[in-house]
């Protein structure tokens, strides 16, 4: 059986007839998201944490399309944002400011001011200077501003080094002793109500969270800190292939409940992004050329690293299957994009029917998170459309870019 | 002496007074390019190859700003393009189609048709199927279309594995035996007049080019191919730090002349990008926070991996200096961006004055090539402006993006 076939059961995928309709209407490459898959993931995570006072804030950076955000909002989620741009997106999508959490290691003054004015729920603060700025704008607008301190707990997790974020030598978080000193400082407009940690991304098991929560508990006890809000970040992993072993979100919820239940929290914040949207999206791409070289075979497709940079940047694995499934002899191909860099590839050494050919279509799975949101115009390529499938209905949620749009800011 | 101080002599840099004026006018982060540095590099490469029938085609992907392209055009260069978008840019900038060369491993049918219609100088062809498509459109428009075959010469060069492009196992080029078969094929509208190779990027010495030319010579002799056009690609390296040892373009020109002079070429095409623009641009960024952790010190700046991805993607080194030079004690910092990823950094373990502080400015050198052209909106960050310095004159050549521009295609 095809390696992707079994995997597809747990992820959004596209069948031939449906796929052909989409590419006929919207062209390729195109991102396609599933409304029902999104809803299902949202419900799973809501249920998994339902016995805790949870605020589930969708990580906007994973997929920031306004229509996707509207789905999160409609299903009762909040938003985890990292910039003024993401805050604006969340507001356009209809989130109440009281459901918005602002994280990030480099918040600009004007971003902080904008968020204070908008009355967001809280800031996750990354250093002392940031507190002074929040205090300043709290004073300016006569508002108490709720903050959580992002602690650096020096916890290692098993993931790509670019997306581990809680080691001592990473840029994130505040060292414990500095946090203790901060707790003794007096603020008039800053209210430190909680603790935040974020361990990284694509984490496969709950144990680092449990370890982190225990460290937070010790920290609060030692400093007699009344913990009202605990923000345990996101990072819940998803399978990218059949053999990926990842604890289920239900297990995450159960274990975290056991660790937290006596803490009497007012609010537990979690910030899933990839968990909700990662396996809810695919990228459909067209075969431009098939190239047999003596050392390797290549399928050259019309989607490149500018459309999906995860393989190039992180060495990420995405399952890829032909839209039209075929039996018969398979040989190995590298699936590469049209960009003039050897680093521009989508998959390596994948088995495909040996008669795969020009104008066939391939589907790149698990492309819903950190796909479009990281895309660029490198090689002056237009960014591609995003469409949303709801039952039989297919809706364009971002138009393909045009050259006049692209060049507009350069015509001086 | 500061490590960057000596280096700056051979690159475009910004002094404090000048830099302050620019950031006051345009904000940060901002890309700044030097008109005179560009001209100087153009003249160097023109002189280096002046005794050959050279067509110097600027590699548009390295920096595709239309105003930068206009400078290339005004100084007599042609354009090396890899997409319809780049062709459109080149035409807007005023290049004659007869000075445009179309390369790339994944040209779409509609791109080929567009270029045939526009009468570009030639195509560098990457596989057999592409020839059939060119033949088809040549026939459709009744035009003879000049092509060069991109040979796979299986030559290794000393550079990052993502940007070596001439190894047998890379996606680029046509194997020798297939090329020989192609030469025997009969076309009515395709005229194979030349050979193309491209070894990679940031190549430090001329010897791989010499080796490649020798291989091309053997190939032509064996196949009795009358070589009218030879396109040796780009890839000429530039220093990113003082200790980088790179053969000068003058030496490149001299050695290539010696190897080529008896070949009786009609046209030698070279495709410099980084060589011309790499050291002609800087990125000015503002210090948002200074963070001392027990294990490391961080300068958090307002430019991130979405603005300049080279350090994250290739591990590239860019010299960084404070706009206001200071004496006194120095300590080591990582220079990191505001993006929520550990991979978001601009420099590691760099010595900076220990009293560097919020609202100071840093200048990231050698950011003219593959800087803005690879930038994205990740974290919903607006793409930054580009300005051009011509003597005392500073001109905006790309406006900073706005949120309404950014969200426009999602408002359905």
Q: A-contacting residues of B 186-205, CB under 8 Å?
A: 198, 200-201
| Integer Rg of chain B from CA | 23
Pairing of strands B122-125, B145-150: parallel
Set of chain A residues whose Cβ sits within 8 Å of the Cβ of B161: 342-343
Same domain, A57 and A140: yes
Give B31's strand partners.
B283, B386
Q: Are residues A266 and A329 in the same domain?
A: no
Q: Check CB contact under 8 Å for A341 and B165.
A: yes
Residues B190 and B257 in one domain: yes
How close A345 gets to chain B, by Cα (Å)? 9
Q: Which of A226, A249, A273 is the last residue of a domain?
A: A273
Q: Which of B101, B358, B379 to mutate to test the interface with A (most CBs of A within 10 A)?
A: B379
Mutate to test the interface with A, among B177, B341, B394 (most CBs of A within 10 A): B341
CATH number at residue B185: 3.20.20.10
Q: How confident is the model at residue B412 (pLDDT cuts 50, 70, 90)?
A: low
Please check whether residue B67 touches A, CB under 8 A.
Answer: yes
pLDDT digits (tens, 9 = 90+) for A162-212: 767 777 788 899 999 999 999 999 999 999 999 999 998 899 999 999 999
Its ipTM equals 0.96
Question: In this structure, are A352 and A265 located in the same domain?
Answer: no
Count of domains observed in chain B: 2
Per-residue pLDDT of chain A (412 residues; tens, 9 = 90+): 465 677 777 899 999 999 999 999 999 999 999 999 999 999 999 999 999 999 999 999 999 999 999 999 999 999 999 999 999 999 999 999 999 999 999 999 999 999 999 999 999 999 999 999 999 999 999 999 999 999 998 888 777 777 677 777 888 999 999 999 999 999 999 999 999 999 988 999 999 999 999 999 999 999 999 999 999 999 999 999 988 999 999 999 999 999 999 999 999 999 999 999 999 999 999 999 999 988 899 999 999 999 999 999 999 999 999 999 888 899 999 999 999 998 999 999 999 999 999 999 999 999 999 999 999 999 999 999 999 999 999 999 999 999 999 999 997 6
As a whole number of angstroms, the distance between CA A42 and CA A47 comes to 9
Q: Could you give the angle at which helices A176-184 and A128-141 cross, rounded to 10 degrees?
A: 30
- Chain B interface, mutation test: which of A342, A345, A401, most B Cβ atoms within 10 Å? A342
A22-79, pLDDT tens digit by residue?
999 999 999 999 999 999 999 999 999 999 999 999 999 999 999 999 999 999 999 9
Instruction: Specify the pTM.
Output: 0.96
Alpha-carbon distance of B399 to A84, in angstroms, equals: 19
| Euclidean distance between the first and the last CA atom of chain B, given in angstroms as a whole number | 57
Task: Please tell me the distance in Å from B402's CA to the nearest CA on chain A.
Answer: 10
Domain that holds residue B68: 35-273
Number of continuous H segments (helices) and E segments (strands) in chain B: 13, 17
A257 and A311 share one domain: no
CA B240, CA B163: separation in Å to the nearest integer?
16
CATH code assigned at B282 = 2.40.37.10
**Domain shared by B65 and B199, yes or no:** yes
Domain closes at, from A246, A273, A300: A273
Residue A102 · residue A74 · CB < 8 Å: no
Specify whether A261 is located in the same domain as A144: yes
Query: Is the same domain home to A288 and A255?
Result: no
Pair (A217, A122) in one structural domain:
yes
Are A168 and A217 part of one and the same domain?
yes
The domain boundary, picked from A254, A273, A292, lies at A273
Q: Please list every residue in chain A whose beta carbon sits closer than 8 Å to the beta carbon of residue B273.
A: none
One domain, residues A169 and A201: yes
- Chain A residues inside the 8 Å CB shell of B357: none
Question: What's the DSSP call for residue B203?
Answer: B
* Same domain (yes/no): A347, A244: no
**Gap between the Cα atoms of B20 and B32, Å rounded:** 12
Are the beta carbons of A358 and B85 separated by less than 8 Å? no
* C-alpha to C-alpha distance for A381 and A292, rounded to whole angstroms: 26
Phi, psi of A31 (to 5 degrees): -90, 135
**Nearest CA of chain A to the CA of B144: how many Å?**
23
* Percentage of the residues of chain B whose pLDDT score is greater than 70: 98
What tokens were used for B179?
A: 């090329």
């Amino acid at each position: 059986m095809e390696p992707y076939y079994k995997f597809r059961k747990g992820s959004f995928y596209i069948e031939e007839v449906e796929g052909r309709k989409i590419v006929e209407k919207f062209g390729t490459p195109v991102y396609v998201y599933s409304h029902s898959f999104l809803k299902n993931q949202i419900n799973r995570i809501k249920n998994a944490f339902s016995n805790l006072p949870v605020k589930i804030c969708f990580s906007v950076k994973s997929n920031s399309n306004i229509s996707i955000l509207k789905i999160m909002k409609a299903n009762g989620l909040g938003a985890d944002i990292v910039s003024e741009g993401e805050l604006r997106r969340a507001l356009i999508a209809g989130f109440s400011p009281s459901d918005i959490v602002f994280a990030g290691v480099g918040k600009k003054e004007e971003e902080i001011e904008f968020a204070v004015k908008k009355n967001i729920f809280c800031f996750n603060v990354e250093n002392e200077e940031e507190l002074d700025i929040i205090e300043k704008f709290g004073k300016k607008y006569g508002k108490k501003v709720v903050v959580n301190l992002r602690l650096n707990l020096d916890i290692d997790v098993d993931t790509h080094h670019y997306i581990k974020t809680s080691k001592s030598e990473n840029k994130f978080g505040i060292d414990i002793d500095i946090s203790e000193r901060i707790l003794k400082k007096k603020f008039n407009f800053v209210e430190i109500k909680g603790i935040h940690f974020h361990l990284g991304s694509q984490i496969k098991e709950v144990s680092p969270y449990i370890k982190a929560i225990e460290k937070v508990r010790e920290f609060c006890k030692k400093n007699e800190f009344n913990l009202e809000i605990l923000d345990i970040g996101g990072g819940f992993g998803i399978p990218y292939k059949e053999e990926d072993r990842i604890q289920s979100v239900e297990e995450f919820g159960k274990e975290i409940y056991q660790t937290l239940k006596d803490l009497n929290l007012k609010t537990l914040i979690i910030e899933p992004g990839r968990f909700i949207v990662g396996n809810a999206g695919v990228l459909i791409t067209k075969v431009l050329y098939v190239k047999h070289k003596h050392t390797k075979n290549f399928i050259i497709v019309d989607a490149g690293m500018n459309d999906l940079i995860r393989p190039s940047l992180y060495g990420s694995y995405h399952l890829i299957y032909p839209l039209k499934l075929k039996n018969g002899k398979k040989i190995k191909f590298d699936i590469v994009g049209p960009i003039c860099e050897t680093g521009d590839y989508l998959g390596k050494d994948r088995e495909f029917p040996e008669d795969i050919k020009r104008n066939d279509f391939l589907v790149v799975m698990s492309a819903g998170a950190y796909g479009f949101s990281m895309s660029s115009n490198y090689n002056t390529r237009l960014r591609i459309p995003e469409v949303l499938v709801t039952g039989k209905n297919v809706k364009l949620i971002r138009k393909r870019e045009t050259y006049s749009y692209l060049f507009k800011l350069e015509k001086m």
